[in-house]
Amino acid sequence: MTFSRLPHITADSFFSTPSTSDPSLSPITIYMISGNPGLIGYYHTLLSILSEKLNTHYAQQSRKTNAFQIYGHSLAGFELTKTPGSKPRYYDLEEQICFVQRKLDDFLTGAVDASGQRQTAPRPKVILIGHSVGSYIAMEILRRHRERAANGAWPSVEFDIIGGVMLFPTVVDIAKSPSGQKLTLAVVVGFLVRVLTALVPGSLLRSLIRFYMGSPPDNMVETTAAFLESGYGVQQALHMAADEMQTITSDKWSDDVWGMSNVKDPVTRLFFYFGRSDHWVAEQTRDEVVEHNV
């Protein structure tokens, strides 16, 4: 599917551009990586508010500075605009990392080509935002990005990842979390959900979603309903979750990826936002990450 360079909000993609910008400065790209289930629709409100706040902040600046553009796409296997009749394929965590990396590479390549300044444009700058397992994907992309830079193995466009914001991150030992220890139950629940959506009318399903989620915004209800009715979304979520249990174990990243202050080379600034009683992050795991990486 060809990516539209016009601002848009669709079931599988979000793209906002700055309302005004200095043509001599390339906008900084904020790339949103969703959790599991990997539907970007869950983040439409967050990204819309963020875009509005950044545009307001940019308009108030008295000196030349970079504006921001925001892009996000549903993870592989969660896309709601698939070709009718296509056979579903289920993606594991490694395949999701590669999928997101390709999306980011293609987006930045398209942005540079659209500017018509491939030879003279400054290197694009990127800030990654990851939610839940999206934080793990972001950390892996950062690690591989540094390896590509060290080896000179760039894609068609070189770029810098200058920051990362990890929201409720599941980056180590996910199997120790309360939900990680109950994955078998989740498989049973997933089967029951598939049966339920096959029997319940759409209007009743949406009413049940509103009740269960505590009357969320309409777009959250529609995203959840589309996910449950897709016929493959629940299975993709469970397939990916099972692989997460096997893959997200001990800390695998070096100090330069974590952005530790004792590293001499330029590092990416990372910000981790943890929550209390997070069902996908064990309390001990959260405390150890904070203690060892500050």
Distance in angstroms (rounded) separating the CA atoms of residues 16 and 293: 33
pTM: 0.84
As to burial, measured by CB atoms within 10 angstroms (0-12 exposed, 13-18 middle, 19+ buried), residue 214 is exposed
As to burial, measured by CB atoms within 10 angstroms (0-12 exposed, 13-18 middle, 19+ buried), residue 192 is exposed
Which residue intervals of the chain bear CATH 3.40.50? Answer: 8-176+248-292
Distance in angstroms (rounded) separating the CA atoms of residues 95 and 227: 20
Which of the residue ranges 128-137, 139-148, 196-205, 236-245 would you say has the lowest mean pLDDT?
196-205
Q: Is the pLDDT of residue 184 over 60?
A: no
Query: Strands 8-9 and 13-16, how do they pair?
Result: antiparallel
Domain 8-176+248-292 = CATH 3.40.50: yes
Distance in angstroms (rounded) separating the CA atoms of residues 133 and 35: 5
Please write the tens of the pLDDT for every residue from 216-241: 888 899 998 998 888 788 889 988 98
* Percentage of residues in the chain having pLDDT higher than 90: 33
Q: Is the pLDDT of residue 198 over 90?
A: no
Distance in angstroms (rounded) separating the CA atoms of residues 185 and 187: 5
